Chains A and B, each alone.
Chain A
Amino acid sequence: MTDEPYNIDCHEALDRLYEYMDGELTPVRAQEVRLHLEMCAPCLAASNFENAYVRFLEARSWAQKAPEELRKKILQQILFEGERSGTT
């Protein structure tokens, strides 16, 4: 009976919002946030905004890849290292 969802207030819901969005809450703690958002329009609006913001960050930053030159250099280095340690 200890892990039934409680009613939480706006402060508590907003405090957990990022953890909720990041999937870092236990199912019961997440359910408490979800139930609060269902009945609280201002918190739901804030939650939609924060959600858009974090999705925007995640979508943006993936583009950069390691340069091909760097990949080659590393392959050469470990090849050289492997040979060096192989001869000792």
Chain B
Amino acid sequence: MAAEPDDKRRAFEEEALPHLDTVYRVALRLAGDEAQADDLVQETMLKAFRSWHQYRPGTNVRAWLLTILRHTFINEYRKRRKVVAEVDVTEVEAWTVFPAVQEVDPEGRFFDQIVDEEVLQAIDSLPDEFRETLTLSDVEGLTYAEIAEITEVPVGTVKSRLFRARQALQKQLYDYAVEMGYIKRREE
């Protein structure tokens, strides 16, 4: 009988644990701070271990872990999030930034001057569903189909959320770059 839990543990360590960095990064963006992310990740991995028998070998273990993470976040952590989303994504018009920079910086070189911390802070100011979609796509490189599976929405919804999230974030970063003097605001 002793061999059985050992096999389970070994399989979990070999297949699930390599995705710990991904789970942690997504948890950080969902939860908004390190202490909460720490707890959220521990709870997620423990739940995953306990329900390891439900995981079908050969299927997408990363998506499976991120689904558990997301459910844990929504059920227990969302209310505790300290950073409140302040960007109204519905206000974002299509292609807001390029027309403003095409004369002075059409290649978007100003982006490279923005420090990581500022980018993460801007991501954190997006509403939940846009923040999670953008994180899964642009931080973790998941496909639209994987994101649709994890966030339980149609692929078309992933597409439109990603579009609006990227545009809203771009506008935030542009405003920041203008404020910092990395780029001149277009003359009105």
Residues of A within 8 A of B (CB): 14, 18-19, 22, 24, 45-46, 48-50, 52-54, 56-58, 60-67, 70-71, 73-75, 77-79, 81-83, 85-86
Q: How many A-B residue pairs have CB under 8 A?
A: 118
Cross-chain contact A71 with B116 (CB below 8 angstroms): no
User: What is the distance, in angstroms, from A84's C-beta to the closest C-beta of chain B?
Assistant: 9
Cross-chain contact B9 with A49 (CB below 8 angstroms): no
Cross-chain contact B108 with A56 (CB below 8 angstroms): yes
Which of B38-46, B56-64, B82-90 is the interface stretch?
Answer: B38-46
Among candidates B23, B42, B98, residue contacting A73 with C-beta atoms closer than 8 Å: B42
Cross-chain contact B116 with A63 (CB below 8 angstroms): yes
Cross-chain contact A54 with B138 (CB below 8 angstroms): yes
User: What is the distance, in angstroms, from A3's C-beta to the closest C-beta of chain B?
Assistant: 19
Chain A, Cβ-Cβ closest to B119? A60
Cross-chain contact A18 with B163 (CB below 8 angstroms): yes
Main secondary structure, interface of A, reads helix
Main secondary structure, interface of B, reads helix
Cα–Cα distance between A74 and B108 once the two chains are bound (Å): 41
Cα–Cα distance between A83 and B5 once the two chains are bound (Å): 7
Among candidates B6, B38, B144, residue contacting A70 with C-beta atoms closer than 8 Å: B38
User: What is the distance, in angstroms, from A18's C-beta to the closest C-beta of chain B?
Assistant: 6
Cross-chain contact A52 with B120 (CB below 8 angstroms): no
Cross-chain contact A53 with B108 (CB below 8 angstroms): yes
Question: Which B residues are CB-close (under 8 A) to A48?
Answer: 106-107
Among candidates A19, A45, A53, A65, residue contacting B111 with C-beta atoms closer than 8 Å: A53
Cα–Cα distance between A63 and B170 once the two chains are bound (Å): 20
B176 at the A interface (CB under 8 A): no
Among candidates B41, B50, B106, B119, residue contacting A49 with C-beta atoms closer than 8 Å: B106
Cα–Cα distance between A3 and B38 once the two chains are bound (Å): 49
Beyond A54-B138, A70-B38, A86-B2, whether A61 also contacts B144 by CB under 8 A is no
